[in-house]
Amino acid sequence: MTSAAPSKTIFLETFGCQMNELDSELVQDQLSTLGFTFHDSRNSADVVLFNTCSVREQAENKVLSRIGELSVEKADGRDVIIGMLGCLPEREGESLLSKYPSIDFLCGPSELNMLPSLLDNAIQGIALNRADRSALQGNRSRRSAALSAAEDNLELLDLSRSFNPDYLQTKGKSAYVRITRGCNKFCTYCVVPNTRGAEVHRPPDSIIDECKELAETGVIEVTLLGQTVNHYRYTHGVALNADGIEVPQIGPGLTAFKKPVAPSDHVTTFANLLQRIHEEVPELQRIRFVTSYPRDFGDDILTVMRDCQRICNYLHVPAQSGSNRILKLMNRGYTVEEYLEFVDRARAIIPDVEIAGDIIVGFPTETEEDFQATVDLIKHVRFKNNFVFHYSPRPGTVAIDRFEDDVPRDVKRRRLNELLDIGAVISGEVHRAYIGQEIDIFVEKVSSKEHQQKGVELRWEQAKVQLSGRTAGDLICVFDVNQDVAESMVGEIVQVKITESAPLLLKGTLSVAQLAK
Ligand code: SAH
Ligand code: SF4
Ligand code: F3S
């Protein structure tokens, strides 16, 4: 790295899912260690990095319009380096460099360990050809045992996370921990298997160590991340790559080793992993995980969730559609009946579990009858909330090649709004059921909208501030406290008595037991 690097400031903007948020955090750690400083103004930074998402066209358009604005500034003489990270360059490839000449370099999500050298080249103004200005996986990891080398570097990136005491000041007491990279499911509409590569599970000891170190810095809540997180399965000693070829695994300390193993007791399942984190990191008061895949839920996972008090009673398990015909075209690998069987089983084992989901409306050939089946599914499951998306055809997916995007825009919009309306009624009822209960809230922040004192303000009355947090079941809850104690409650778990509700919100007051503390 050049001696000029430390004086450079970086603006980093993140789009997309929790994986990207975590990657951005690791990028920030990595580049701060090298002497860069992070800056919250895009207009004056020396380097602008976008960590991008490609899951829907809209997500890509957002970042491309930012690039357009910066191109104009660059043409007007602004000296700024632009780097595009994440899923969009991985999906689109090097052609982005010719389409958008203002972009200095591209770095895919599986190549983030290459970022410092890409950035250094750009700072030094080394004139490189297109290939040297991009670090992209280009599906390499799906091909061979070269996987282990790439994996090594990625594992190093996760292990490079800084656990300094400043962590709490900058990131709060809640942290993401990756347990699985990539995805092997190939749902026909989805870019993720192409952008994030083959599914690779991290060694359980590395995950536990990371949780312990986070807990030592004061973190009390972790969210385990994977595209199909409950599919986690680590075979010690020997692993198979996507082609079924044995590759050496990376053990703790990153020495590649290969030794013969007896099958049964050398596998760590997702249920084992949850239980180990719960037992071995007692400082963690909340353990969550996203996103779950409906088909991989054995009773072992649900039973561990029931028996381990600090594992949250929350599941995000997208159904995507309520029609078997559409689920088949999506290659989701389950039927509506199987999905409902899973929901019934989850509720039988964990009665207070809250379930959230995702739905795609307007998938090619979706009829009113298919849509009605989705309405029925939503009414039956009673999700605490559902994220509803229009189908967006994505280059490189099976669906864009095989099916015409034949559901008109206005029909997609109507179906989306209808699902949102029905969902709001159900969420309203789910939330209302909490009125009168005293529940633990993990306080996340001082809510932006300050409490408005109504009527005459009495002089001796302290100003109130609204705090916002979440229940273990992931319901958002706001409550008012006196201004002088507000900051000290952020990052704590407090007990709140719920007095009111709205479709996506609980409102309450600190419980008497809490006030007495
Ligand atoms: N791995 C997660 C979800 C990843 S993408 C899972 O399988 O559940 C997040 C959500 O985006 C998906 O659940 C899906 O509902 C939505 N999505 C993905 N591709 C899409 C597309 N092409 N058009 C519209 N929505 C899409
Ligand atoms: Fe995409 Fe399906 Fe994998 Fe989720 S499970 S990331 S929707 S391919
Ligand atoms: Fe988007 Fe990539 Fe995540 S496409 S949803 S940022 S895995």
49-90 pLDDT, tens per residue?
A: 999 999 999 999 999 999 999 999 999 999 999 999 999 999
Contact 323, 378 (CB under 8 A): no
Confidence of residue 154 (pLDDT cuts 50, 70, 90): low
The response to whether residue 54 sits with its C-beta less than 6 Å from ligand 3 reads yes
Taking the centre of ligand 3 as the mean of its atom positions, its distance from the CA of residue 23, in whole angstroms, is 11
Confidence of residue 204 (pLDDT cuts 50, 70, 90): very high
What's the confidence (pLDDT) of residue 256?
Answer: 39
CATH 1.10.760.10 fits 325-433, yes or no: no
Question: What percent of the chain shows pLDDT beyond 90?
Answer: 76
Taking the centre of ligand 1 as the mean of its atom positions, its distance from the CA of residue 149, in whole angstroms, is 29
Taking the centre of ligand 3 as the mean of its atom positions, its distance from the CA of residue 395, in whole angstroms, is 14
What's the confidence (pLDDT) of residue 464?
Answer: 87
CATH code of the domain made up of 143-312 = 3.30.750.210
472 class by beta-carbon count within 10 Å (0-12 exposed, 13-18 middle, 19+ buried): buried
Mean pLDDT of the region 91-113: 94
**How many Cα atoms sit within 13 Å of 114 on the Cβ side?**
22
What's the confidence (pLDDT) of residue 268?
Answer: 94
**Domain layout of the chain by residue ranges:** 5-139, 143-312, 325-433, 438-516
Residue whose CB lies within 8 A of the most ligand 2 atoms, among 54, 186, 194, 387, for a mutation test: 186
Taking the centre of ligand 3 as the mean of its atom positions, its distance from the CA of residue 109, in whole angstroms, is 9
Q: Specify the range with the lowest mean pLDDT, choosing from 25-29, 169-173, 175-179.
A: 169-173
CB atoms within 10 A of CB 223: 18
SS3 assignment, position 144: coil
Confidence of residue 460 (pLDDT cuts 50, 70, 90): low
**Identical fold between 143-312 and 325-433:** yes
Nearest Cα to 274, choosing from 235, 306, 237, 227?
306
Residue whose CB lies within 8 A of the most ligand 1 atoms, among 315, 360, 366, for a mutation test: 360
The response to whether residue 185 sits with its C-beta less than 6 Å from ligand 2 reads yes
Question: What percent of the chain shows pLDDT beyond 70?
Answer: 85
Taking the centre of ligand 3 as the mean of its atom positions, its distance from the CA of residue 357, in whole angstroms, is 17
CATH code of the domain made up of 438-516 = 2.40.50
Q: Is it the case that residue 143 has pLDDT exceeding 80? A: no
What's the confidence (pLDDT) of residue 161?
Answer: 81
What's the confidence (pLDDT) of residue 170?
Answer: 58
Domain at 5-139: CATH architecture:
3-Layer(aba) Sandwich (3.40)
What's the confidence (pLDDT) of residue 284?
Answer: 98
What's the confidence (pLDDT) of residue 300?
Answer: 97
The residues, any chain, with a CB within 8 Å of residue 279's CB and separated by 6 or more, are none
Residue carrying the six token digits 């990028």: 27
Q: Is it the case that residue 359 has pLDDT exceeding 90? A: yes
SS3 assignment, position 17: coil
What's the confidence (pLDDT) of residue 146?
Answer: 43
What's the confidence (pLDDT) of residue 516?
Answer: 63
Query: Which tens digits make up the pLDDT trace of 230-281?
Result: 999 998 765 555 555 555 444 433 333 344 444 455 899 999 999 999 999 9
Which residues in 225-240 are b (16+ Cβ under 10 Å) and which e? bbbbbbbbbbebebbe
Mean pLDDT, the chain, integer: 88
Tokens representing 13? 């903007």
Ligand 2 nearest atom to the CA of residue 193, by list position: 8
What's the confidence (pLDDT) of residue 129?
Answer: 78
Helix, strand, coil % over all residues of the chain, rounded to 5: 40, 25, 35
Query: Which tens digits make up the pLDDT trace of 393-442?
Result: 999 999 999 999 999 999 999 999 999 999 999 999 999 999 999 999 99
What's the confidence (pLDDT) of residue 260?
Answer: 43
Phi and psi (nearest 5°) for 52? Answer: -100, 165
